[in-house]
Structure 1
């Protein structure tokens, strides 16, 4: 028996109407703060934090892993550039955590609207929210654990964190495009109930936003001291205090034991410089060369930084002796046996900067093993992971 197409279409339409009319048992929400105006107000702050975190994250990533077209042109000035950008990256990432939680609290009742998908636009909105929330939670979660140098996952943090940043940005752009009319409508105006919320709704919107702002201020104040040293006394929640370390209270990320460097590894150490006129130097010969002292910060990707006085031989003097061309890229090799940054390439902008040293002393003391004995790189505006310790070879490329 066959059913005419017209009758079949009518039956399918009736079935769809019946399914739409069957509403599952969903919770109901009456709180006046779960509205578009609250979500928009918090979203403005969250958007600023996410964009600032994204931009500074790009700076950090391309400083550590520059593409070929940028590899030999990265700037060495200002000397405090990476310290500020990476400190801002971590600070805005931490500030985004309470903002994201507050934003989710304001909008989560929308998860229970029915029907779940009402139109193509509504489906795009749901998709943008799913991508945005998932990427934001994972990005912030992994970033916080990275700041503590804890990696309980099997994948490499840097490429995944970088890729997630682009997914997060794409989700944000899609979300803003879909929600633009609603955001525009609630950007400045006060929605109903702003001034006179019912008593059972708890604190009003202004109190909520004040509390959220206080939470952001609290987590920022208690963590940003790892970068802004005058606020170091408030550094209660940060995983690293900039004044807790050795040799002038200089913190250390990677110890010599973890890198496999000990007294036997440096026995008979000689610095090899490969170029048009290759040569080698013993430690005594290196110490006999003209020494320079500079004050530069160590700035690590985890967000902490601290300035120190470094003494050593200017990198460009060593390269000139080897006959290196002015624009040559330099490869630096460490005694470290394992590690993602055992071999590092340095742009000529760093290598030729008069502040870049092959340092032998820090804060008036001979480098300890943990700080890179017998010699380490120190350069301005450079990530700490690229300030190679336990240097054994310089190579002109």
Structure 2
């Protein structure tokens, strides 16, 4: 599958088709009342349960919006009307609580949200292919995509839903963006397994324990969008990547690419580890590790450890403390690789001054023993009660120690 101007042209057409959605929905309602009425009649009970006391005339807006969206190709024809109605209900429940919305306003919003999420996925696809064609390492590509497209789009959608984005459920925002990714898959590969936005959200409610706070976007976007889908997106554009790399190689051999440097893909250990967003704010941007952030970190660490244990061992609560310690030592060592200052809480006292001179240099030269001393420190902090919960608390204690040091003044705590 090739990537060319067709993708951006498709986006341009998509945006132009869905300008001023409310006006189009109003017109469809008045000119296609029989068709619209059939949709509504078929799902009368569902509509009544999700939108109590909704006047019959207003209910027709649901059918009109659905007809408008399907006819213009924003959703596929096999996207069930009942799923669409449930999607609308999901968005309506997450709108500003102290403001009243007319149903037509909510439908206008959901059309814009659909367009925004599909746009983000196409732009992500194009960016990944461009960067892979330039031999950018995978770990860097994923970071760039998360920051430039998914996290920024999540913030935009959050602002569309509420004037206080910190109160919007991050799992709903993630479901919106995953839905957009599914729509991109469908458009490019004619996949038929479109999963409704409301169903994606329901699963996220079960597996992701945190709900609000824009600082969670990095973590949830990585674990539930980027990590599961990155290889699939690259695979879709592999033909274009190969063609571009062939051109690059020919230019290199012809002497036109003297700065050509071969880079190799890395694993994802440096991207999207638990609490990445908060760790970045604290250790790269100098924000304080407040009690609220520490509490969020603990919950994020706990969820991440459970998920990692399930993936590696097929169970979340490990009977063997040593297995859990090994797993957590490995996880925290990866965090240290990205944020060397986190090693402050695990290194032995004789090494303190060497560490303060250059945390990154110390971690680099002692890379081999970091997992071992991390495991010992975690065991000491957890005592006899080694569990995912105690490990999460230990992670936070180590993060707090790291946040308290002052390398410039050569003081540990």
Q: Using structure 1 for the length normalisation, give the TM-score.
A: 0.26
Quick check: which one's helix share is greater? Answer: 2
